[in-house]
């Protein structure tokens, strides 16, 4: 994995260093499957989180004044399932025909975080399942979904602690929050099924590593290489862990108590501190990174609904309506924009530099010159 740090640069390790060469031609468009990244599951995250939002709006007592029907949840859940099947099928073809490319994504210090996304999506689908489909999910489903997350965590967290040059301070990035989020959504699903020890176990793991990651990013980002404008949307991922942790702890404890409110208020402050900086999040071209706007806005809306169930007044209800409207508009706009770039402009999936670096570093020009000069003498 050190090879990625040697050959690539930039916060997302997606820019080739000047002395390096690619194993694929740079002047031609590569096959579609080679250009199809694991981060495509971020689209599924955005749509499936909407299914949960509309389910909560329909069943929550504090939002009954909106008169939301569960049919909306059913339609969105079906769309989410279909989208997951399509995205997963395409990526499965990449696994079959270009396994080396998938392996390189898995070994990539940043891309490895996105391998949590497929399992998080499945957990979100389980949380948003319409009551008309199934009211009680089997406990075995939770163990099936959390096993791969646990295995991935053994890899990721082990690298953070014992990885030498791959230690946490070097790999930390807002996208790393995906490695944390799986713990909290898994704890929320397990608690909703009536499980106790398993959800607390994953909640504890997520909380411990979230505190480390939060402090690391606060200390690291201002002094390290600044994220390019195209990646500014992933700053909103700061909001996801505390808002989902608040809901998970509420499910574990049975009420939105002080612990849940601490997480909720932290998430709300982070969301507002980012939302007011409009200029920071505009002026750059569209990419899949824009889908990082969706889950944070939706998770803030969901945790606000849980809070309004405990503290109901005009201000809290207005906050829920504003966040929910913003969440729906963002997802709708991104869905339309993604379709335009994918099917009309055909520029949604550019050549993926990160999976085409050479296995061995090239010797710098000056070293080659010195070697030939020495031989000539």
How confident is the model at residue 336, as a pLDDT?
95
Q: How many CB atoms lie within 10 A of CB 256?
A: 22
Report the first-to-last Cα separation within the chain, whole angstroms: 38
How confident is the model at residue 30, as a pLDDT?
85
Residue 154 CA to residue 179 CA, distance in Å, equals 11
How far is residue 326 CA from its own chain's centroid?
19
Q: For all residues of the chain together, what is the average pLDDT?
A: 83
**Whole-prediction pTM:** 0.87
pLDDT digits (tens, 9 = 90+) for 253-309: 999 999 999 999 999 999 999 888 877 767 667 888 889 889 999 999 999 999 999
How confident is the model at residue 86, as a pLDDT?
97
Residue 136 CA to residue 354 CA, distance in Å, equals 43
pLDDT digits (tens, 9 = 90+) for 57-68: 999 999 999 999
For 324-338, b/e burial (b = at least 16 CB within 10 A) is bebbbebbeebbeeb
How confident is the model at residue 5, as a pLDDT?
47
Q: Stretch 171-194: mean pLDDT, rounded? A: 89
Say what percent of the chain tops pLDDT 70: 79
Q: What are phi and psi of 8, to 5 degrees?
A: -120, 160
């Amino acid at each position: 994995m050190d090879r990625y740090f040697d050959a690539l640069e930039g916060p997302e390790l997606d820019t080739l260093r000047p002395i390096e060469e690619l194993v694929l031609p740079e002047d031609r468009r590569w096959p579609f499957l080679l250009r199809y990244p694991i981060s495509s599951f971020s689209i599924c995250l955005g749509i499936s989180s909407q299914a949960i939002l509309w389910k909560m709006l329909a069943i929550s007592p504090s939002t009954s004044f909106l008169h939301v029907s569960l049919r909306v949840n059913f339609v969105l859940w079906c769309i989410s399932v279909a989208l997951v099947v399509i995205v997963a099928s395409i990526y499965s073809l990449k696994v079959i025909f270009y396994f080396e490319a998938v392996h390189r994504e898995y070994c990539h210090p940043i891309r490895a975080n996105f391998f949590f996304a497929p399992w998080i999506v499945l957990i979100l689908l389980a949380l948003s399942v319409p009551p008309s489909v199934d009211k009680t999910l089997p406990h075995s489903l939770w163990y099936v979904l959390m096993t791969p997350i646990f295995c991935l965590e053994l890899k990721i967290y082990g690298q953070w602690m014992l990885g030498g040059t791959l230690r946490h301070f070097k790999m930390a990035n807002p996208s790393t929050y995906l490695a944390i989020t799986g713990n909290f959504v898994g704890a929320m699903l397990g608690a909703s099924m009536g499980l106790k020890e398993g959800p607390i176990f994953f909640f504890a793991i997520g909380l411990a590593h979230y505190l480390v990651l939060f402090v690391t990013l606060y200390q690291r980002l201002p002094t390290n290489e600044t994220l390019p404008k195209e990646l500014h949307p992933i700053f909103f991922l700061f909001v996801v862990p505390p808002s989902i942790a608040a809901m998970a702890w509420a499910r574990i404890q049975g009420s939105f108590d002080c612990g849940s409110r601490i997480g909720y208020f932290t998430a709300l402050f982070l969301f507002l501190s980012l939302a007011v900086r409009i200029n920071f999040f505009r002026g750059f071209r569209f990419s899949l990174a824009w889908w990082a706007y969706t889950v944070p806005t939706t998770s803030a809306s969901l945790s606000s609904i849980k809070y309004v169930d405990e503290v109901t007044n005009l201000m809290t209800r207005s906050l829920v309506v504003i966040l929910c409207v913003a969440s729906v508009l963002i997802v709708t706009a991104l869905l339309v924009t993604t379709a335009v770039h994918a099917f009309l402009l055909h520029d949604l999936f550019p050549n993926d530099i990160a999976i085409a670096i050479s296995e061995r570093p090239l010797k710098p020009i000056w070293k080659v010159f010195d070697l030939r000069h020495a031989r000539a003498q």
